[in-house]
Amino acid sequence: MKMLVANALLLLSAWAWAQDDFGPKTPAVQMAPAPVVTAVQGKSATVPLSFRVLSGYHINSNHPKSEFLIPTVLKVEATTDIVIGKTTYPDGQDMTFPFDPDEPLNVYTGDFKVEVLVRPLLSVQVGKYVVRGTLKYQACDNSACYPPKQLPISFDVKIAKAPPPPRKNPAQSPHSHS
Amino acid sequence: MKRSPLVPFFTALIVAVMLFAALRFAHNHRAQGPANGQLIGTQAPDFELQTLDGKTMKLSDFRGKAVLLNFWATWCEPCKVEIPWFVELQKQYGAQGFQIVGVAMDEDSNEEVAKFAQKMSINYPIVLGKESVEQSYGGVGVLPVTFFVDRDGKLIAREFGLQSRSVFVDHINQAMSQGQPVQAPK
């Protein structure tokens, strides 16, 4: 019991330190656990991925206003069983910041959602598949910017069996009922 | 003598507090970087970097001049705000033995940096930064970061993030007033 308490205290210390390390001093985007999306063999399904930009920071949207700014981009690794389709980004918000009140930037702050279209092949086996990728973003605060980062992401797709194709009715011959 | 059952608990508590304090201390010092209070007042680390036109430039080439060393990137909006000030300050103080050097920390090709420099009418040399140089200046975790070097090559100040123009002017005046200017050849 005593050892348990001692270990808990040590873990608590390390946790407190780690919280600070990845806290506001380290701008980061966090991803919420993605829901398991069920997709039927051969049919498309949309996977919603939720992200959060830490308070006090902003990241460029997928369509920043300047060609020199680094857009937020989700890259999903190709898989042999699931076709990765279109990625849909939310519209950014036009915001001005103290470093340049005259020039609005198109950014994401707080929570935002990116959607990925997936389509399992018709021949893929039923089961759960993990899809991986990265979210590339570049964050700034009110007076400085941080180098681009790549946040690893992953989500599960549960493949369900496609319903059997509708049976064709055989040509019927006339019956006589007596 | 029977030991109190609370002794191990308090020992663990003291160890945990000490560990926490040590980790915090180490963390704070790491977050501030080795440059904090260690680089300032010492010789600015010399470097040899490529300019946008492919030439090699050393910081020590400017010995005798006050130097403003600005780490920046094309994707950094606060950096973009400072650049027009630097263009003006180079014009204003250049003749008095002052030189601005921009260190571009872009990962992309130097064509992007050159395009940006042209767009912003930058009138001072831009060199393409390397991680080794960044590390020698204490690890530049945020941009912009600006260092001020006096005429003897000593680092006299450092500013993180966007500052007001007057902060730059104060540091420039201080850098120009310290150290020996290079004598013009007779």
List alpha helices for chain B, DSSP H: 7-32, 77-93, 110-119, 131-136, 165-177
8 Å CB contact between A18 and A26: no
Of the candidates B16, B73, B77, which has its C-beta nearest A9's C-beta? B16
Alpha carbon separation from A62 to A88, A113, B147 (Å, rounded): 10, 12, 33
Instruction: Choose from A4, A13, A15, A146 for mutation: most chain B CBs within 10 A.
Output: A13
Q: Is the ipTM of this complex over 0.90?
A: no
Residue B18, chain A, CB below 8 Å: the answer is no
Bridge partners (DSSP) of residue B147 are B69, B158
- Please determine, for residue A111, whether its predicted confidence score (pLDDT) is greater than 80: yes
Main-chain dihedrals φ then ψ at residue A145, nearest 5 degrees: -125, 155
Cis peptide bond prior to A152, omega within 30° of 0 = no
d(CA A22, CA A24): 7
Alpha carbon separation from A17 to A13, A60, B19, B37 (Å, rounded): 6, 29, 10, 24
pLDDT at residue B16, rounded to an integer: 58
Cβ pair B75:A138 closer than 8 A: yes
Condensed to tens digits (0 to 9), the pLDDT of residues B52-95 reads 999 999 999 999 999 999 999 999 999 999 999 999 999 999 99
Alpha carbon separation from A91 to A119, A149, A172, B77, B141 (Å, rounded): 24, 21, 57, 20, 29
Taking only Cα atoms into account, the Rg of chain B, rounded to an integer number of angstroms, comes to 22
Condensed to tens digits (0 to 9), the pLDDT of residues B31-45 reads 344 445 588 999 999
> A21: which chain B residues are within 8 Å (Cβ-Cβ)?
27
pTM exceeds cut of 0.80: no
- Please determine, for residue A45, whether its predicted confidence score (pLDDT) is greater than 50: yes
Collapse the DSSP code of A2 into the 3-class scheme (helix H, G, I; strand E, B; otherwise coil) and give the result: helix
| Residue, of B60 and B9, whose pLDDT is higher | B60
| Residue, of A171 and A142, whose pLDDT is higher | A142
Angle between the N-to-C axes of helices B165-177 and B77-93, in degrees from 0 to 180, rounded to the nearest 10? 40
CA angle A121, A126, A51 (to 5 degrees): 75
Cβ pair B78:A68 closer than 8 A: no
8 Å CB contact between A59 and A139: yes
Residue B74, chain A, CB below 8 Å: the answer is yes
Cβ pair B107:A17 closer than 8 A: no
Alpha carbon separation from A120 to A46, A74, A132, B68 (Å, rounded): 12, 19, 15, 57
Among candidate residues B119, B128, B121, B122, the one with its CA nearest the CA of residue B54: B128
Residue B143, chain A, CB below 8 Å: the answer is yes
pLDDT at residue A16, rounded to an integer: 42
Bridge partners (DSSP) of residue B155 are B149
Tally of CA atoms within 13 A in the half-sphere of B15 that contains its CB = 14
> A5: which chain B residues are within 8 Å (Cβ-Cβ)?
9, 12
